[in-house]
A and B are shown apart, each in its own frame.
Chain A
Amino acid sequence: MLKITDLHASINGKEILKGIDLVVKPGEVHAIMGPNGSGKSTLSAVLTGNPAYEVTRGSVEFYGKDLLALSPEDRSHEGLFLSFQYPVEIPGVSMVNFMRTAVNEQRKYRGLEPLSATDFLKLMREKRAIVELDNKLASRSVNEGFSGGEKKRNEIFQMAMLEPRLSILDETDSGLDIDALRIVAGGVNKLKSEKNATIVITHYQRLLDYIAPDFVHVLYKGRIVKSGGPELALELEERGYDWIKKELGEI
């Protein structure tokens, strides 16, 4: 479904991604790990079309379409979703209004009628239950005053509402307490199917205990320097990144 080839990207003239290659197929879970500042969030921002980044080389295919040619909103309509590492607060825009607009724009793109008010509220209720998101949060402004953990929960709630084909979870586990981690990961698993895929960006094995990856990649200095199976994550947890840097001849 996703094919990234030799992707280079920069921000403010500074090159961050220096040639990424990655193929993701339906049903797969890919974990991306790597030290701070290696470019993991940059990759997710570039894939979702954040205009702050400039793609300088390479291509991305999503279900045969040139992803990089699409606007951020159309990438979403095509089924791409990002759970932000730092979800944005939008004072004055209610969660309900935000979600209704998002859902109906997606329906419009697919040639469907907007949902009626009752159907929409029913959908909200249903999806809220998946991540046990408090109704009080759903009636507030988007992320405004939400705690770190509540924001992450809210991201997965939005994912449940939009039913993406490919989800990128950027450090969704950070800021979650032990129970919340179980609930949120459980929510992600409930949304998993043969048809959709997940890219999990994380620093820790604990999330991967819940969301079992098929592949694990190490992103370092803007490149994927190592790929392997689930055992690679366990090895990183135990040994850190120094041995990889050594392999690269850096130490």
Chain B
Amino acid sequence: MSAVQQYIDLYHSQKNLIAGHSSPVMNALRDEAMALLESKGLPTLKDEEYRRTDIEALYAPDYGLNLGRVNIEINPYEVFRCDVPNLSTLLYFVVNDTFYTQAQPAAAKLPEGVVAGSLCEMARQYPQLVARYYGKAADMKRDGTVALNTAFAQDGFFLYIPDGVVVEKPIQLVNILRGNVDFMVNRRLLIVVGKGAQAKLLVCDHSDESSVRFLASQVCEIFVDDDAVFDYYDMEESSENTAKVASVFVRQGARSNVLVNGIVLHNGVTRSNYYSTFDGEHAELSLCGMGIVDKEQSVDTYTYIDHAVSHCHSNELFKYVLNDSARGSFCGRILVRHGAQKTEAYQGNKNLCASPLAKMYTKPQLEIYADDVKCSHGATIGQLDQNALFYMRSRGITEAEARMLLMFAFTNDVIEQVRLDALKDRLRQLVEKRFRGELAKCSGCQACR
């Protein structure tokens, strides 16, 4: 039986259970999603875009799913404790793939008109609003993992910022994975930022250091309307037994400014897709990310920026540090459509293989159909600079410390892109700890102790 068949069978036998524990807006897309999955299947290693991550192998195990939404006994505040002062956020939790309703900031703390909370619940309360956006950016035809997520996702997080509203305080969503058996979750995030509105969202992934395997599928749709400013930070600090398959879809209106920064500090296998489309002119996107992977971990990033209209500006920078036998892959596609004049698109992917067994694959793909554009790309895979190492050691800095300083320096310009000082500081600390080999135990999360 192929990996996908068990999901098809499960869907047909549990359709009512799935729908019964979700909302009509989300249910409306399920049959179509399943039909697509049945005809197309999951991506395989033969698919050009998935050559470096064996999706079928990740989906093959017999995972448990919480389709009946059985309550999980957990107090996320006990599990998660933010260890860095000054990072005061509006904090929300999703435990496995269920929004945690018992503890969330009082609605009064949010600016007028802002909606934040359970996607399932908000889709019931505001069906028209959610239906206007849900599934509209996430292209199920493109990728079987997105179709599968759409067929099974029952809940997640919804954030709506009305036109003109500025949310000063960063919003933080903490995803926690917990389970006693091998477990799969299907999370869904929907973010709508109205005209001229501003917000920052930080999504953190943590998982239990137990011996069970986790597969976390996450689809995040982000709609940023004209003149809006939005930051999306995604930080994974999970465990070696966690596989994450995530897709982020961004739609940007005219003159909007979006920053997407995906950071993998600790993981098992991570596949991230970032799709972004400019729908209005003079918009700007900064798409960046970094990863620190070692042991047998792997990180595989695919980006696709669609310059559909003229006068937009995209800037991409991804940096990975690989140790031990870690694997990494970056494929960055940029499409400049016919007529998208005055496009500026820059892409950089720099990688450091700090051990001889580590492997990195990188591939830029630029497709340009307009003539008056500025585009560039650059990809490098290098080792630690031996001259710099010796220079530091000759000053009495131990080899381990010198390596750490060089690796830290390497990732620093991705951290510099963060537009939130407290988060920047926190990241610097976490990255340094990680390089010192202390992270596997992030002090932000008791689940990892």
Contact = CB atoms under 8 A, between A and B. Distances in A.
Contacts of A142: 391
Interface residues of A, number: 32
Contacts of B406: 90, 92-93
Interface string A49-81: 111100000000000000000011101110001
A76 B393 contact: yes
A73 B393 contact: yes
B409 interface: yes
A172 interface: no
B274 interface: no
List the 3 closest pairs (A to B, CB-CB), nearest first: A92-B409, A76-B396, A72-B393
B396 A98 contact: no
Contacts of A71: 393, 399
Given A92-B412, A101-B401, A158 B395 contact: yes
B394 A98 contact: no
Contacts of A50: 390, 394
A72 B401 contact: no
Contacts of B388: 88-90
B398 interface: yes
B410 A92 contact: yes
Most B CB contacts (10 A, CB to CB) among A48, A93, A141 go to A93
A80 to B, nearest CB: 8
B392 A98 contact: yes
A89 B388 CA distance: 7
Given A48-B394, A92-B410, A101-B401, 15 more contacts: A50-B390, A51-B390, A73-B399, A75-B394, A76-B394, A76-B396, A81-B394, A82-B394, A87-B391, A91-B409, A92-B413, A93-B392, A98-B397, A102-B392, A141-B409
Interface string B239-278: 0000000000000000000000000000000000000000
B405 interface: yes
Interface string B366-400: 00000000000000000001111011111111110
A235 B410 CA distance: 49
Contacts, number: 79
Given A51-B390, A84-B391, A101-B401, A73 B409 contact: no
B410 A105 contact: no
16 contacts: A49-B394, A52-B390, A71-B393, A72-B390, A76-B394, A88-B387, A88-B388, A89-B388, A90-B388, A90-B409, A92-B409, A98-B405, A101-B401, A102-B395, A109-B396, A162-B396
A101 B394 contact: no
Interface in A99-119: 101-102, 105-106, 109
B399 to A, nearest CB: 7
A88 B391 contact: yes
A106 B392 contact: no
A170 B408 CA distance: 30
B400 to A, nearest CB: 10
A97 interface: yes
Interface of B: 385-388, 390-399, 401, 405-406, 408-410, 412-413
Contacts of A97: 405
A142 B406 CA distance: 11
Nearest to B407: A92
A225 to B, nearest CB: 28
Contacts of A98: 392, 395, 397, 405
B320 to A, nearest CB: 15
B127 to A, nearest CB: 50
B396 A90 contact: no
B386 A52 contact: yes
Nearest to A45: B390
Contacts of A73: 393-394, 396-399
Contacts of A141: 409
Contacts of B399: 71, 73
A79 to B, nearest CB: 10
A141 B406 CA distance: 12
A129 to B, nearest CB: 20
A208 to B, nearest CB: 25
Contacts of B390: 50-52, 72, 88
Contact of B396 (A91, A92, A93, A106): A106
Nearest to A105: B396
B390 to A, nearest CB: 5
Nearest to A87: B391
B431 to A, nearest CB: 12
B197 to A, nearest CB: 35
A166 to B, nearest CB: 13
A239 to B, nearest CB: 35
A101 B397 contact: yes
Contacts of A84: 391, 394
B394 A105 contact: no
Most A CB contacts (10 A, CB to CB) among B388, B390, B394, B410 go to B394
A76 B395 contact: yes
B425 to A, nearest CB: 15
B395 A93 contact: no
A20 B386 CA distance: 26
Contacts of B393: 49, 71-73, 76
